[in-house]
């Protein structure tokens, strides 16, 4: 059941939302560095770009290695250029090179716990107990929404399904 106030907030939500996309992957970064072209294999980054471009302006798309300093620099640069929302894909696993979640949680001023909870719940419904590996998260940093999604295309589709319909509503609150 949706409340009248939530529907009113959605109605008044801004449409002029600027987005950025960051793919974190050592291997995709190496390929990009060598060719200067977006790797064919960056399906998740491409999915994000396509989905966001349907309703919003995507100003920047970067491929970076799994490196804390590179991630912080990319986030700050995108915010300095006006990003309202940043999606990252990759680096959310439990491997030693997976630094996205710890890096972003270290800068979040507020965390959107509900995003990760819904993501894991829906993942559990589709995948079963394997959903415990998901560390998808979202938060606010410098009045910008940041969503950290796993690198798999299916996980990115799920993240899009959850987050994109609410972006206007969320950005409205950040601009207040």
- 118-174 per-position pLDDT tens digit: 999 999 999 999 999 999 999 999 999 999 999 999 999 999 999 999 999 999 999
pLDDT digits (tens, 9 = 90+) for 68-98: 999 999 999 999 999 999 999 999 999 999 9
What stretches of 60-166 show up as alpha helix (H) in DSSP?
68-80, 100-105, 113-127, 153-163
Q: Where are the beta strands (DSSP E) in 2-90?
A: 18-24, 57-64, 85-89
pTM: predicted TM-score of the whole model, two decimal places: 0.93
Among 96, 104, 90, CA closest to 152:
90
Domain boundaries of the chain, sorted by first residue: 14-175
Residues 153, 42: Cα–Cα separation, whole Å:
9
The CATH number of the domain covering residues in 14-175: 3.40.980.10
């Amino acid at each position: 059941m949706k409340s009248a106030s939530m529907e009113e907030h959605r109605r008044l939500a801004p449409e002029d939302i600027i987005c950025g996309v960051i793919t974190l992957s050592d291997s995709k970064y190496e390929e990009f560095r060598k060719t200067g072209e977006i790797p064919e294999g960056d399906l998740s980054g491409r999915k994000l770009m396509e989905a966001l471009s349907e309703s919003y302006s995507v100003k920047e798309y970067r491929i970076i290695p799994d490196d804390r300093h590179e991630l912080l620099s990319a986030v700050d640069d995108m915010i300095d250029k006006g990003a309202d929302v940043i999606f990252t894909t990759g680096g959310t696993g439990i491997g030693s090179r997976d630094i996205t979640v710890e890096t972003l949680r270290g800068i979040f001023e507020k965390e959107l716990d509900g995003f990760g909870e819904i993501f894991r719940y829906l993942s559990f419904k589709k995948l079963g107990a394997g959903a415990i590996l998901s560390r998808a998260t979202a938060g606010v940093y410098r009045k910008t929404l940041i969503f950290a999604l796993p690198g798999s295309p299916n996980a990115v589709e799920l993240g899009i399904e959850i987050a994109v319909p609410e972006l206007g509503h969320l950005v409205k609150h950040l601009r207040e």
